[in-house]
Amino acid sequence: MGKSLVIVESPAKAKTISKILGKDFQVKASVGHIRDLPRNKLGVNVRKNFELQYEVLREKEPIVAELREAARLADHVYLAPDPDREGEAIAWHLSELLNLPKSKLHRIEFNEITREAVLAAMKEPRQIDQRLVDAQQARRVLDRLVGYKISPLLWRKVNGRSAGRVQSVAVRLICEREDEVDKFQPQEYWSIKAELSKPHAKQAFLASLVRYDGKRVITAVDKAGAGTRIIVCQADATEITQELQQEKFLVSSTAVKVSQRQPMPPFITSTLQREAALHLGYPVKKTMQVAQTLYEGTELGSEGPTGLITYMRTDSTRIAVQAQEEARQYIVANYGKEYCPKQARVYVRKAKSVQDAHEAIRPTSVERKPEVVRSYLSNDQYKLYKLIWERFVASQMVACDLATTTVEISAGPAVFRVSATDVKFPGYTIVYNRLLNGESEAENKEDSETVNNLPKLEEGEDVKLKAIHPKQHFTQPPPRYNEASLVKMLEELGIGRPSTYATTVATILDRKYVEKQGKMLVPTKLGKAVNLLLVEHFGDIMDVGFTAEMEDKLDQIEEDKVEWHGMLKDFYQPFGQTLKKAKENMDKVLVLSDHLCPECGQPMAVRSSRFGQFLGCSGYPECKTKIALTKDGTPVPPDRPSEEKCKTCGEQMIIRYGRYGDYLVCSSTTCQEQRPIVKSTGVMCPRDGCGGEIVEKKSRHGKLFYGCSHYSQKKCTTAFWYPPVISGGPNGSSRCPLCSSLLVYKILKRGDQLACSSKECTFSQQATGQEAHA
């Protein structure tokens, strides 16, 4: 008998499943989609009921031939792409190309890549779900129609690179927020705090002014009304401050409120992306890349290859009963019965767009603690897995019990307020306290001061005034979106799905419609120009409600409530009319930069080609000056002199900007020597007998790292992500006190650290500020 064939998307996933299934199964990877619509034409015959003209991707032709041969020799073929629309579509395309009888072809799916889940899936094969395939095809056609019909118009009218059904709405949201920021007029207001203490006590506390002359003192200018007062200027604040200096401060009331803070549900795709951005600083794309590796499986020593988390593209907070029970047993065994609720926690999302097809993102087993598997993971994998593990375990624990003491202190016409919160029982926060710490400040009432050092105060007790602190403030504009908050908004509006968030963000950045300023997303001039044209001429396509409605209809196709050809017909008829009007009425727009043409002095315009953006003279065709742009969108600098000499001919080297940044090239026209610019750290390579030195390098993705000068010659593989310590470490040394490896200097949010560069060593300590590093 021949072996059974299992086909998955990725080689990493194939490797894990192959080791699980053993020698009787051959596992191969399709490496993503193998068939798609043509790259150089629409590929959708609108007149023939939206007939799709698929073709095998050219780079996948050898893979398809290999899969066909393997399928021909196999007794059974199991299609095991991811358990979502895209995965179902890949399985369907494979079935179409392999052209096998139904008795030989099976579709299997699993929410986690563990031995138990994979073997269970093999026992319960099914047929391909055509509803999922139809929903994916409908989405593909919608995206293709919008992209292929509108994008050429943008090329001609504004040199825009593309339009997209979801990406263009995302750009609109960012542009509208930028308009709000630009139009915002800051308004002045003042706050007043009293520095108080008990008589004869040294320790002081702050209390905020909350009422004055019977009116509530507020800081929200837009909420002003009857019964409220805003301290609008320094004169007003000074008058109140001087009057209160003479008053007696007396505790007028105390109250204790008992409350609970409930744990958050386990992660879904969007909340994982937001928390990873907030606590780990990961972009959305990186979060999904790292999560994919955790899902597809890691070699865990004697345990073998195992997926560490469940499927990471989900909008459901549902948890399998078995996983819930395992978590509860773990909590009782490791933290005690008092930390485990009497009934298992069940989280239900009420949002209309929730598909609930998969579980929430959780560890495949809570027994695989982050510290236990750390040695098998990269640093990024460990951090993300720890976040997922802690969030899941905490979600199954009891609430955190809090007691908030609020004290009001009267002083003549004024009332000050201060509060302090004590944790009576930590509950879930002993595992996952990120939200507790992150929310405490946000949850403070604007009319109260929250402190940690509040002494015990009784009603009627005198308190001593030490100082009064008036402080000037200005109202702030609405915050710009970052990647995480944009994903949150898209989810709240029902635009896109878990599988599309990361792609949407990456696309609008890649198209140069949006750029990052720090972590904030800001529209470029091109993005603003494209958005204005699209909103004016394609109002429906750019409408948030319309886009969300399309997503809802795709869900209805999956649920077999809507026929996909009919949905596309309803969309295309008005879209075609709008497109015709836009072609007739859309004016050409020049997106002018801040740079002037070096030849004629006219403004340079931002233009696009298939190689990316460049600056072209607005006087074209009379002036044909072009200036290339760097990755950051700035003009490529001219060649600059260097102090280095050519090692071949001895001539002066010059600094030239290239595809990967600055590099050195010989100034002689007859010499072709070129080499990277090496920035030395002054630290010798720690590898015995190497003789190289540690220098700054850049990865192929442009990320800075520190490696041996022999690294590029493949003589030495010494490399670190963090700068090496030169001196000032423990005992004044640059070496680890435990293993003598080189120390590196980590700049972290929680404080700078010294750490050993060896993966086998656990040494780390807080930096003192006396260390010298590269």
- Which of the residues are catalytic? 311
Q: Length of the chain in residues, anyone?
A: 774
CA proximity to 204, closest of 212, 195, 213 = 195
- Round to whole Å and give the CA distance between 39 and 750: 47
Token digits of residue 625 = 């000056």
Token digits of residue 630 = 């760097």
Give the DSSP per-residue string, 194-217.
Answer: EEEE-TT-S--EEEEEEEETTEEE
Cis amide prior to 186 (ω within 30 degrees) = no
Contacts of 198 (CB under 8 A, 6+ apart): 455, 457, 461, 463, 464
CB 302 within 8 A of CB 375: no
CB 693 within 8 A of CB 680: yes
Token digits of residue 363 = 């560890």
- H or E segment and range at residue 14: helix 11-21
CB 502 within 8 A of CB 291: no
**The amino acid at 231:** I
- Strand locations in 149-307, DSSP E? 188-197, 205-212, 215-217, 228-229, 249-261, 298-299, 305-306
Token digits of residue 331 = 């909590």
CB 509 within 8 A of CB 515: yes
- Round to whole Å and give the CA distance between 92 and 30: 12
- Round to whole Å and give the CA distance between 153 and 533: 10
- Round to whole Å and give the CA distance between 505 and 499: 12
Contacts of 58 (CB under 8 A, 6+ apart): none
CB 330 within 8 A of CB 366: yes
CB 689 within 8 A of CB 648: no
CA proximity to 712, closest of 728, 698, 730 = 698
State the residue for tokens 């138990």: 116
**Alpha-carbon separation of residue 654 from 66, 643, 674, 695 (angstroms):** 50, 8, 9, 20
CA proximity to 604, closest of 589, 613, 614, 593 = 593
Token digits of residue 281 = 């600083």
